[in-house]
Amino acid sequence: QVTLKESGPGILQPSHTLSLTCSFSGFSLSTYGMGVSWIRQPSGKGLEWLASIWWNDDTYNNPSLKSRLTVSKDTSNNQAFLKVTSVDTADTATYYCTHTLPANWFAYWGQGTLVTVSS
Amino acid sequence: DVQMTQSPSNLAASPGESVSINCKASKSIGKYLAWYQQKPGKANKLLIYSGSTLQSGTPSRFSGSGSGTDFTLTIRNLEPEDFGLYYCQQHNEYPLTFGSGTKLEIK
């Protein structure tokens, strides 16, 4: 059974760096073909894919966020991480992590963590 | 980027009826389209991938069709638990992109 859970700061100030953790079970990021992706959703709006990291350490980022994103993993502890630098109010959203399969569909989702950027 | 245009934005139907939701890609994505259901307080759920392949656990009243740029999600014999938000997503190329969503409501 695959489960994922996101954790984050809840609220942070503009210009700061957002750090998110995805803790998961039921699969390993050291297993061929496994991936974790990050997706966000501002309240009342649609879904935006942010980044993916794969079993072989390949990473892909959404170019719309330019170079603000860093995705990483800790295979031994079944965790993945997302950092977003220089946040502003437009980064306020619920952030989800997902179990991603090689053809890039999102098989399982966490419940999401709400991040509010406010001074 | 591949733009995904989803229609309608809102849809009202009664239990037992059938509905269709459409998704159009700005360029060919082959068969690589997924559909998700979103409901308050629940994790988002993958329903269909690769255009027409049902994810394990997806009821058979759900079906997906299409290829290239035009895709459809059909739900037959609506059940009360089917009401919610539906999103399409192209999984053919990066950046991965979603449609804007369809809200399916009880009439």
Could you report the per-residue pLDDT of B9-50, keeping only the tens digit for each?
999 999 999 999 999 999 999 999 999 999 999 999 999 999
Q: Which residues of chain B have a Cβ shorter than 8 Å from any chain A Cβ?
A: 1, 32, 34, 36, 43-46, 49-50, 55, 87, 89, 91-92, 94-101
Using alpha carbons only, give the angle B46, B48, B49 rounded to the nearest 5 degrees.
Answer: 100
If phi > 0 it is left, if psi is from -120 to 50 it is alpha, else beta; for residue A31 that is beta
Return averaged pLDDT per consecutive 10 residues of chain A, 119 residues in all.
Answer: 96 98 97 97 97 97 94 98 98 98 94 97
Could you report the per-residue pLDDT of A75-99, keeping only the tens digit for each?
999 999 999 999 999 999 999 999 9
Give the per-residue SS3 of chain A.
Answer: CCEEEEECCCEECCCCCEEEEEEEECCCCCCCCCEEEEEEECCCCCCEEEEEEECCCCEEECHHHCCCEEEEEEHHHCEEEEEECCCCHHHCEEEEEEEECCCCCEEEECCCEEEEECC
Nearest beta carbon to residue A49 from set B44, B96, B99: B96
For residue B88, the tally of other CB atoms under 10 A from its CB is: 28
Cis peptide before A14 (omega within 30 of 0): no
Confidence of residue B107 (pLDDT cuts 50, 70, 90): confident
